[in-house]
């Protein structure tokens, strides 16, 4: 921490304190929820009403406004879990363990949505609900990794040992993330190549791109809100015998 200003170091340690984090999460949650709802409304209105039909796919392409942000978030959340796992293993930070396990069910939900909506999109486009495509298969493996983290954490009674085990699993499983991302470039696949993330120019009109980016932001704010709520509950379970929890529960009764 010597490389950072003293104020940053103090804020870092303060935020990692369970009672301070709990109070901060409670204050942030209403703002995160409000921003999420506003972005969601704007994104859905733009995507379902303002954006024109696609010249090839017609209106069926509009499922991208759920599918694509969910797929992005499935990767984003797992990378964050791996980062939290590394922090938990190196610095034994309890809050990193809490954030890791609190993220897992949310990431699993995003992955499930991505797979289901991709299947719904694939039926009219490919003529099949499912194909063992490189992108689809690696995304399914990601879902299994999320479920593995959740199951492993629940199977070990000592939650500090459980957190170390899932941290290792999260770090090992992160190798699947670049496979998912580059699968359409490395293998012959039915899944279309990148359109929004191309470095030169996105292959999507601005009228379609804007609501897609709004939906992506809405999903990120939803994740922030949901993970804070999960983390608050996990902290209460872990710290049930701590004085700050007793004071908190006493103040609510």
Q: Maximum Cα–Cα distance for the chain, whole Å?
A: 62
Q: What is the pLDDT of residues 26-59, one digit of tens each?
A: 999 999 999 999 999 999 999 999 999 988 788 8
On whether the CB atoms of residues 110 and 70 are closer than 8 A, the answer is yes
Task: Name residue 124's beta-bridge partners.
Answer: none
**Token output for 51:** 């954006």
Q: What is the pLDDT of residues 119-170, one digit of tens each?
A: 988 777 777 778 888 888 999 999 999 999 999 999 999 999 999 999 999 9
SS3 209: helix
pTM of the model: 0.90
- What CA–CA distance (Å, rounded) separates 107 from 154? 17
């Amino acid at each position: 921490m010597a490389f950072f200003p003293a104020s940053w170091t103090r804020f870092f340690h303060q935020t990692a304190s369970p009672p301070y984090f709990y109070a901060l999460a409670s204050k942030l949650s209403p703002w995160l929820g409000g921003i999420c709802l506003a972005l969601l409304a704007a994104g859905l209105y733009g995507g379902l009403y303002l954006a024109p039909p696609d010249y090839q796919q017609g209106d069926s392409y509009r499922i991208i406004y759920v599918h694509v942000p969910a797929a992005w978030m499935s990767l984003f959340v797992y990378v964050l879990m791996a980062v939290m796992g590394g922090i938990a293993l190196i610095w034994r930070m309890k809050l990193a363990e809490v954030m890791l396990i609190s993220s897992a069910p949310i990431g699993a939900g995003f992955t499930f949505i991505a797979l289901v909506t991709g299947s719904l999109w694939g039926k009219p486009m490919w003529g099949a609900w499912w194909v063992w495509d490189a992108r689809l298969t690696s995304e399914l493996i990601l879902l299994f990794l999320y479920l593995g983290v959740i199951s492993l954490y629940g199977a070990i009674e000592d939650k500090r040992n459980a957190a170390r085990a899932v941290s290792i699993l999260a770090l090992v499983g992160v190798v699947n993330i670049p496979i998912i991302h580059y699968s359409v470039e490395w293998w012959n696949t039915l899944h279309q190549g990148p359109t929004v993330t191309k470095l030169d120019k996105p292959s999507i009109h601005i009228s379609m791109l804007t609501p897609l980016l709004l939906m992506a932001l809405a999903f990120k704010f939803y994740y922030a809100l949901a993970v804070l709520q999960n983390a608050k509950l996990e902290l209460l379970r872990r710290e049930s015998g701590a004085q700050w929890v007793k004071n908190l529960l006493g103040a609510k009764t």
